[in-house]
Structure 1
Amino acid sequence: MTSASEASGATGTPAGDVVVELTDVHAGYLPGVNILNGANLVARKGELIGIIGPNGAGKSTLLKAIFGMVNVRAGDITVNGESILGLKADKLVQRGVAFVPQTNNVFPSLTIEENLQMGLYQNPKAYAERLEFVTGIFAELGQRLRQRAGSLSGGERQMVAMSRALMMDPTVLLLDEPSAGLSPVRQDDAFIRVSDINKAGVTTIMVEQNARRCLQICDRGYVLDQGRDAHEGSGRDLLNDPKVIGLYLGTLGTDA
């Protein structure tokens, strides 16, 4: 397995294709306490990146660090070659970064349509065009635009949350546990939708507890442990790596 810094130049991919890069990032919520302890990650244009690891490894914290929700104390995070450290959420959205949290990710009192409109508040004139794109992936939402989000199932809410994030035509989509709390059938549907989003051209970084399923669909994966990237490789390579199997896949996401 290679480190993230080695991977950034190992494939010969032009540097201009790098969408998101984390370099030796240290970050945490409380003063003097880091959750990330030198994390590295590279996501290139069009890639689907999976992040797995044990509970408390810093997976969700990594996404929140990218989206400016955690204090980054050292290292750098760039999007399209420019540092985004210190930027607020609205500025990050303008830079093409979209984030779907694990919970509380829809406005339950609003309709599906109103939720989608909230996702496009910075560019409302593009609503018709973006709605066509989103309903091309989530066709059922286009038939239920007037339904309140609070009446939807967990899987349906997840669709609305991802759709709202896509309304601003993001460069990169950050997904925190998209299958969490869903039934097995809905989990499979969530992973299919994530693949569809990525195939539509959106670079995607996904944190997942269902490690096996995540690695099955991602181009490359990172295994986080104690706030560091312990392993990195293609999804297939990680699925078949004895160390990853013994240390992580044995207790994570046992669904094949």
Structure 2
Amino acid sequence: MSDTATLAEAPPERPTKDVLLRADDIVAGYLPGVNILNGCSIEVAKGELVGIIGPNGAGKSTLLKALFGLVKIHSGTVTLEGEDITGMKANTLVARGVGFVPQNNNVFPSLSVEENMRMGVYLKPKVFEERWKFIGDLFPVLHDRRNQRAGAMSGGERQMVAMARALMMNPSVLLLDEPSAGLSPVRQDETFLRTRMINKAGVSVIMVEQNARRCLQICDRGYVLDQGRDAYTGTGKELQSDPKVISLYLGTLAEDVKTKADHDAHPDPLAT
């Protein structure tokens, strides 16, 4: 599952319509009077894959946790299909169709793969067989390893388990917090391909990513956060080619773009 050629193909651009999850002017933080988010606004449409990038400390992970009820929102609103869900607890949001995969400690290491999946439907245990079949169709390897202890799996495999468990409650939107962190380049590509597969299966996705270039390659739209605000937004293609975004936030992507431009201007005469 390391089809990097497929990964490099940008998905079709979708207009912002049929908004599923929306955050308006969110101010939030972990301590009273200390805000990490300072008026951040984002939205994801039905069937859309949205990426969030930005420098360390910009508030990317805090934003996801605020959307999922894990960080207190001091002001602003979050709506799901037009309904105000601001401040709702995580278990209530799961029941309403919001899934979340944290960056760390995202599996039950002493439990088997199947037991992890059962934990994913603890609110609706009767739907296990139906959802387990869906997971098997999406990630066949998990069926093959259903009895393996999650803690004995590789980092990429554990990430797959975490994503699958979040899908067990059939969410309409999935929040992913740096799913490629700590993985090898090959495993990162596999994770991004799985993210696209999940999206193509009908799940809207908001993905925070430290690997900005890969993120913008697969997302429909992206946001660049800076100092707790949404500084830039656009399609993945637009953000990849925006000079301000490149120079300020994308780091090595700037060199990639320059190298490609130099190659296009001065092609290798020996290339076939």
The alignment's TM-score, normalised by the length of structure 1, stands at 0.92
Q: Distance in 1 between matches of 2:64 and 2:255?
A: 24
Instruction: Judge conservation of contact 1:210–1:254 (CA < 8 Å) in 2.
Output: no
Corresponding position: 1:123 with 2:124: yes
Residue 102 of structure 2 corresponds to which residue in structure 1?
A: 101
Q: Distance in 1 between matches of 2:114 and 2:131?
A: 12
Offset, 1:251: 5.2
Deviation at 1:143, TM superposition (A): 0.4
Q: Provide the C-alpha distance between the structure 2 equivalents of 1:12 and 1:195, rounded to a whole number of angstroms.
A: 18
| 1:77-116 matches, cutoff 5 A | 77-116=78-117
The SS at the match of 1:102 is coil
Check whether the contact 1:213–1:253 (CA below 8 A) recurs between aligned residues. Answer: no
Q: Which residue of 2 aligns with 1:143?
A: 144
Q: Which residue identity lines up with residue 169 of structure 2 in the other structure?
A: M
Give the 3 Å change call, closer, same or farther, for CA 71–181 of structure 1 in structure 2: same
Structure 2 equivalent of residue 70 of structure 1: 71
Matches of 1:144 and 1:151, distance apart in 2? 11
- 1:1-256 matched pairs, under 5 angstroms: 11=15, 13=17, 17-250=18-251
Q: Secondary structure at the match of 1:92?
A: helix
Report sequence identity in percent. 67
**Runs of 4+ residues deviating >4 angstroms:** 251-256
In 2: Cα distance, 1:12 partner to 1:182 partner: 32
Per-residue deviation, 1:126:
1.1
Residue type matched to 1:171 in 2? S
Q: Secondary structure at the match of 1:213?
A: helix
Distance 1:98 1:222, change over 3 A: same
* Paired residues, number: 243
CA distance in 2 between counterparts of 1:44 and 1:86 reads 21
In structure 1, distance between residues paired with 2:175 and 2:248: 26
With over 3 angstroms needed to count, the CA separation of the structure-2 counterparts of 1:52 and 1:253, relative to structure 1, is farther
Aligned equivalent of 1:5: none
Deviations along 1:2-23, one digit per CA (max 9) or x if unpaired, are xxxxxxxxx573xxx1111010
Output the CA distance in 1 between the equivalents of 2:41 and 2:221.
Answer: 13
Whichever residue aligns with residue 231 of structure 2, its letter is A
Deviates more, 1:130-139 or 1:57-66: 130-139
Unpaired runs of at least 5, structure 1: 1-10
Partners of 2:24 and 2:64 in 1: how far apart? 14
Whether contact under 8 Å (1:61, 1:70) holds in the other structure is yes
Cα deviation digits, residues 203-255 of structure 1 (max 9, x gap): 00000000000000000000000000000000000000001011011257988
Distance 1:149 1:32 in 2: 39
- Which shifted more, 128-137 or 29-38? 128-137
* Shift of residue 138, structure 1, vs aligned partner: 1.0
Q: Measure the CA separation in 1 of the matches of 2:232 and 2:255.
A: 19
8 Å contact 2:247–2:254 — kept in the other structure? no
Structure with the greater alpha carbon radius of gyration: 2
1:86 Cα deviation from its structure 2 partner: 2.2
**Does the CA-based 8 Å contact 1:212-1:253 persist in structure 2?**
no
